[in-house]
Amino acid sequence: KAGPYHLGALSAQAFGFVMAAGLPPAAANQLCPTILTILSVFAGIYINLDSVPEGASWIRYVNFVYYQFAGLMNNEFHGQAGYTCESDEESCLTTGEQVLDAWSLQDVDIRTAIIAQALLQFGAQIIAFVLLLVNGPKYMPLQATLASPQLPISEHQIVVQKPPQVTTDL
């Protein structure tokens, strides 16, 4: 089932649209990695979700990375059994449900992950669209120069300067 993976990619794309539509390029370039790192931490990838402080536990419910990770983990481990361990290991997980419990991902099934990601993705697309409407388009200004400064404007051409073309020798 590739739903959690593909919707996660679309959600990440929508997140990028929100950043691009709402922030100047320099700010978006600085904030995106920071925000994605925070989302990854609160998705349960780097730390167990049971160890997240109570005041910050709400972040997982508005986090597309959490739903993608939970959906992929459930897709891989739900209903699986027959894992074997060495006899001297302390914590031996022999079923997929034990793996999901160890990662604190037993509450999100694949259907919930897909629905949540779709809602987050469409919500982010709408926010990006509204930001584009509010901020309006931004174009690079054209600079016009006169072909001959001695002649009146009505008698000569206006030449628009184009950026120099870059050539590469391979």
Q: Under 8 Å CB-to-CB from 79, ≥6 apart: which residues?
A: 96, 97
Kindly state the average pLDDT of the residues 62-78. 92
Per the prediction, the chain carries an average pLDDT of 84
pLDDT of 98-135, one tens digit each?
889 988 888 889 999 999 999 999 999 999 999 999 98
* Number of residues assigned to the chain: 170
What pLDDT sits at residue 158? 57
pLDDT of 149-161, one tens digit each?
555 555 455 555 6
What pLDDT sits at residue 4? 79
pLDDT of 130-139, one tens digit each?
999 998 877 7
